[in-house]
Structure 1
Amino acid sequence: MTAFTTLELDELGDRVVVTLDRPAQRNAITAEMIAELHTVCARIEADPKLLLLTGRGDHFAGGADIGQLRARTRDDALAGINRTLFDRIGRLPLPTVAAVSGFALGGGAELSYACDIRIATTTARFGNPEPGLGIMAAAGASYRLPQLVGMSVAKQVLLGGHILDAEAALRTGLVLDVVEPGSHVDAAHRLLDRIARSAPLALRLTKTVVDSPGTHPFADDIAQAVLFETTDKHDRMTAFLEKT
């Protein structure tokens, strides 16, 4: 097993639980954390499982490590260091859930946007204050946030520096549910328990089709054709009919 220094990894039967583990720094995202999350992604790609992503302590992730960010150059930006990881998380084969408490700001917000579903506590705050530091939110916020909350709200966050509190995040659809502090990880596990009862291939194909750009009726038909021929589909429908 790989020894992680910025993460805690718990591999369960049907899911992987990743906890960002730099609580004294509000789980600020460092180059080392990016590398370790790439290692986690490689494991999930090789052996697809659900992913639960959360942060140690009071906060999810307060952003990228500013000391490291200040030292980055044009070539670092062109390499898309954070964006490449967050895009990879977005492409993981099975559903991903972020359990967010406290700050999810800057790169931390973009990391949560890369997950399929978010659950928040009442203390959660989502925002992208990057322009105040002379940069932009360039690790996925420009294309993910408008899809999640609409263009108007996305511009309020990305241009206006607006912070979405838990109530606003729920109202705009950024999060599925808001729970009391300390209960968000359990709530995420309950959601994953429900997801895990579905057919893995159906989840995988649904996520692939939903994330594909544009309209794709023929892709829907082909994916459904594959599922119609599976033993899992036959067994599940038989069990449903016999139960009724």
Structure 2
Amino acid sequence: MTTPLRVVVVDDQELVRAGFVALLSATPDLEVAGEAGQGEEAVRLVRATRPDVVLMDVRMPVLDGIEATRRITADPACAQTKIVVLTTFGLDEYVFGALRAGAVGFLLKDTPPADLLRAVRVAADGDALLSPSIARRLIDAFAVTPPATVDTGGLPELTEREADVLRLVAQGLSNVEIAERLYIGAATVKTYVSRLLTKLDAATRVHLVIHAYESGLVTRGGERRPA
């Protein structure tokens, strides 16, 4: 029997938190390891329980979700814990703050239950996930004011195929979608993504997206910028 994924739920609204807990508890392959209503409590709980995934609210009293995420991801003892940020708000400084703090995904609280459960599994598997609306707006935000030139100093030498994969990752495509676009296997795409994570010293797939746009490698729609 497969061991259930252990999840901690963090939200300052008790009713919302209870809803997430009920959903997770009713799912056979998931288990609620604990719940917290504010950031400091969340940090203590995660350090004590070492869950696979944390569903983290952003705006909370005492300590917000961004700082709580930063403290958790900076703790070597919590290295295996993945954090997915949940919020009622769209793209703003909280998205960038959360992702830079080490979150592997960002979802709106109105995400359908099935997609939320999928996000937990995807995060636990080491991948990253953004809701489609957040991914599109994240990409557009970087495309609005792209760098004047490509920051080639910030990009190690990439093979043509690695550059192709990075460009498609930056468009928000999944491994399966990239595989279909490039006519290669999904497992091969996963290997390329792993190489990119290493070469670009990126913590997660989401950080590859940020890196690609900040460097100017790609712009709106994924076009390659001239050096």
Shared fold (TM-score greater than 0.5)?
no
TM-score normalised by length of structure 2: 0.32
TM-score normalised by length of structure 1: 0.31
| Rg comparison, structure with higher value | 1
